[in-house]
A and B are shown apart, each in its own frame.
Chain A
Amino acid sequence: MSTLGTLAATLRAVLGDGQVLTDRQDLRTYECDGLANHRVVPGIVVLPRDTAECARTVRECVAAGVPFVARGSGTGLSGGALPRADGVLIVTARMRRILAVDAADERATVEPGVINLQVSKAAAEHGYYYAPDPSSQQVCSIGGNVAENSGGAHCLKYGFTTHHVLGAEIVTPEGEVVELGGPAPDPPGYDLLGAFVGAEGTLGIATRVTVRLTRLPQSVRTLLAAFPTTAAAGAATSAVIAAGVIPAAVEMMDALAVEAAEAAVACGYPAGAGAVLIVDLDGPTAEVEAQFAQVTALFETHGATELRVAATEAERTLFWRGRKSAFAAVGRISPDYIVQDGVIPRTALPEVLARIGEIAAGHGVRVANVFHAGDGNLHPLVLFDAAKPGEDERAEEASGAIIDLCIEYGGSITGEHGVGTDKAKYMPRMFTADDLDTMQLLRCAFDPAGLANPGKIFPEPRLCGEIPRKHHGSDAPTGLY
């Protein structure tokens, strides 16, 4: 029997038939995550029901020398949960219990398959919510959020997943169950939890997560502003931040993105706007009112052609609907598209958008821009038609050129989607060989055999090698690890 065949039989014997999938049709369900142009049918799919089953699965993989990949809801946009044909896909969908909501401690403990929005729903009756809110929050899982260090529209003010995770029980790549962090802050020793969050499943699998809950704000105001150009909208955003106001969210869409959203969800954004800003202000009522007056005044002096304030929750939802549907909406105006996730210093926005326009023109593709304007996280959508010869290559080139632009301006290749499969090739453009080598030191400490989600984040697979125990003058280890 093949290695995978033997492993599948072992896993069935210890976990039960229902937890192990090997039928080709079943396996195909899991062949991609949200980055649907990368597809690999996994060798085996395992659906553990608890930590012990997850740890046992990993230990069997280690014993067989088979790589494994963890998957939550499969909404990731960088191929972080892309399976291996020669490996096991461990899906956390059956670990979906909310174990505790402790309002008095401002925290909740959940299993990794719990959906992001469910945490906020469970906390709402106590007057709390879970702050990180990726656009996919109705379907994405907390385990996936931890792996990707997910952000969302409101991370400008509230931070990312890493700021809201207090502890995690993990299964290490060697199959041990270890507690990182815990119910209290600042546990002694290295902050391994901080390193684990955002490691994209390469340092193990979270099987239980304790998150911080945030008190619901006393007041929320949402406004929508139209500007003649993206440069004007960018300048208005900068003026707000220069005035010392940190909105909960500042989102921008350019004319093409607005056109797409309008076609898809009829959100009723101002016609003919060169750019639309959606701003959330939240906090104590008196602060929100003061900030609201500041923001509207600044928007007017920076040339806003229209200002709308959401008077009801329904209007607020409508303002956000266009933005939240933007990625899917471009499907209405283009058969294919690539989503980018680069970050730039926000002050460089006007220049960078002009350069993106040049890149698009130079490659004969259209680019719709949707982004978190407050923190400079761009989501350029490179539109193309794969049916037309050469367009997909040109779109891919344009996409790479945009990434280079972000690096040139001192930014990042990814703000929240992760490196995954998609952007591993760009890592050497952002980091030196020594930087990447140092990250490998951490990976090797957790995963000496290199079985946890291999091929993600780092451009080339690396062996860990032995740890040199002694370190003497002439035989200092150079390039050994």
Chain B
Amino acid sequence: MEWAPATEADHIDGVPARWVAAPTTTAEAAAVLERAARDNLAVGIRGGGTKLDWGLPPRRLDLLVDTKRLSGVLEHAAGDLIAIVRAGTRLDTLDFGSQHLALDPLPGATVGGTVALNTSGPRRLLHGTARDLLIGITVVRPDGRVTRSGGKVVKNVAGYDLGKLYTGSYGTLGLITECVFRLHPVAGARAVVTTPVPRADLGALLATIRAEQVVPSAVELDRPDDGPVTVAVLVEGTPAGVHDRAAQLEKATGGTTSADPPPWWGRYPWQPGETGVKLTAPLSRVPALAEPGVRGSAGTGVLYARLTGDIPARLDRIRAAAIAAGGHAVVLTAPPDVRERVDMWGPVPGLALMRRVKDRFDPGHRFAPGRFAGGI
């Protein structure tokens, strides 16, 4: 496995790497990381490069491990509804025929990056997030050892479920090389029922949707900078079933049915270079966070906000609202001048335990140091 000297393009959020390695297999990745451990190198990981500006830049970076050649579907057991995929595989290129991995892909994002940063989309309401769909994982530890947890059957409680720990860990605990996912059948039909609603009535509308037993795949809201809130509900299933469920929702909400979701569906409300915040709250408190520039999963209590203007002041206000509601406000991405002035993560319950986990997995603090919550 050759290491190449880094070029100008090889940086994480402005922090340049000295070398780049692009392993094609777990074994090659292990050899790379074993050498990096020997040489005490700081390691960063790049998948599709779509979220390198998330979190904070690493405190130091020597070796950039690029996963683009670590790609491909290793197994698709259709009868068992599972697939094993290499981490560098682009999520939006996965094709399992009449089945699918029920994670809404960000364009260009890899499987490994999606798991490592725990991104999720509208259908998390029905199918959950990466943590829920991941049933097995192969990770090369910072010391270069290859380890697996979980397996390739959906039902499995043997040993610790380390897949949960790696999911959303921002590459601070090791390099994910292979993921085993539970798949779902692709529904035969779908419909979207869209309802505009004044913010004052948003809570009642969401309660009405919950009360109907239509089992939506997603309940999304969008509040543009001007204009009312729009709520869009996705139902998926058999043609007859979807028809009836959409009709039931139309009747209950006064909404209108369309075949496809609205154009804002599943997109973050910010543009590259802007400040994007993830807001969470218990369901009944979602309306309290639905300010202008907010969009996201009203059905699960996970919203996304684009902050403009006096960003620190707006962040303070929206974070206070989220915390009062029982949730959090985490700045996912922000330009450097904003990052320097704000607390990206806000309060992190359990941080002391998290530091102890990091100390055990990466005692030299070489993997993405400083990228994660609490300076981990």
- A and B held together in a complex: yes
Interface hits, B258-286 → A, CB 8 Å: 278, 280-285
Chain A residue at minimum C-beta to C-beta distance from B118: A186
**Which A residues are in CB contact (< 8 Å) with B157?**
148-149, 151, 160, 198, 412, 414-419
Number of A-B contacts (CB under 8 A): 297
Known: A190-B165, A238-B79. 17 other contacts (CB 8 A): A104-B284, A151-B157, A162-B164, A180-B349, A185-B280, A186-B280, A190-B168, A194-B131, A195-B164, A244-B186, A246-B184, A287-B237, A289-B240, A345-B153, A375-B154, A431-B148, A432-B148
A residues sitting closer than 8 Å to B (CB atoms) are 102, 104-107, 127, 148-149, 151, 155, 159-160, 162-163, 172, 178-180, 182-195, 197-199, 215-218, 238, 241-242, 244-246, 283-287, 289-291, 343-347, 372, 375-377, 410-419, 423, 427, 430-432, 434-439, 441-446, 457, 467-473, 476-478, 481
Pair A191/B131 contact, Cβ less than 8 Å: yes
Choose one: B153, B165, B244, B281; the contact of A184 (CB below 8 Å): B281
Q: Quote the shortest CB–CB distance from A417 to chain B (angstroms).
A: 8
Per the bound structure, the CA–CA distance linking A344 and B184 in Å amounts to 18
**Which A residues are in CB contact (< 8 Å) with B348?**
187-189
A-B contact pairs, 17 of them (CB 8 A): A151-B155, A178-B349, A186-B120, A188-B346, A190-B168, A190-B173, A192-B350, A194-B165, A199-B160, A244-B186, A284-B248, A287-B215, A291-B238, A347-B79, A376-B153, A434-B141, A437-B145
Pair A414/B186 contact, Cβ less than 8 Å: no
Pair B81/A241 contact, Cβ less than 8 Å: yes
Q: Quote the shortest CB–CB distance from A47 to chain B (angstroms).
A: 27
Per the bound structure, the CA–CA distance linking A473 and B145 in Å amounts to 16
**Which A residues are in CB contact (< 8 Å) with B327?**
182-184
Choose one: A183, A189, A284; the contact of B214 (CB below 8 Å): A284
Pair A286/B349 contact, Cβ less than 8 Å: no
**Residue B146 is within 8 A (CB to CB) of chain A in the complex:** yes
Q: Quote the shortest CB–CB distance from B133 to chain A (angstroms).
A: 10
Pair A377/B155 contact, Cβ less than 8 Å: yes
Chain A residue at minimum C-beta to C-beta distance from B34: A476
Per the bound structure, the CA–CA distance linking A457 and B281 in Å amounts to 35
Give a binary string over B286-305; 1 marks a CB under 8 Å from any A CB, 0 the rest. Answer: 00000000000000111000
**Residue B59 is within 8 A (CB to CB) of chain A in the complex:** no
Per the bound structure, the CA–CA distance linking A442 and B164 in Å amounts to 12
**Which A residues are in CB contact (< 8 Å) with B326?**
182-184
Per the bound structure, the CA–CA distance linking A155 and B128 in Å amounts to 14
A343, A377, A444: most-surrounded residue (chain B CB, <10 A): A343
B143, B346, B351, B376: most-surrounded residue (chain A CB, <10 A): B143
Pair A445/B346 contact, Cβ less than 8 Å: no
- The 6 lowest CB-CB distance pairs between A and B, nearest first, are A194-B164, A471-B364, A184-B327, A244-B185, A287-B241, A286-B244
**Which A residues are in CB contact (< 8 Å) with B80?**
345-347, 376
Give a binary string over B147-172; 1 marks a CB under 8 Å from any A CB, 0 the rest. Answer: 11101111111111111110111000
**Residue B27 is within 8 A (CB to CB) of chain A in the complex:** no
Chain A residue at minimum C-beta to C-beta distance from B325: A184
Pair A184/B280 contact, Cβ less than 8 Å: yes
**Which B residues are in CB contact (< 8 Å) with A246?**
184-185
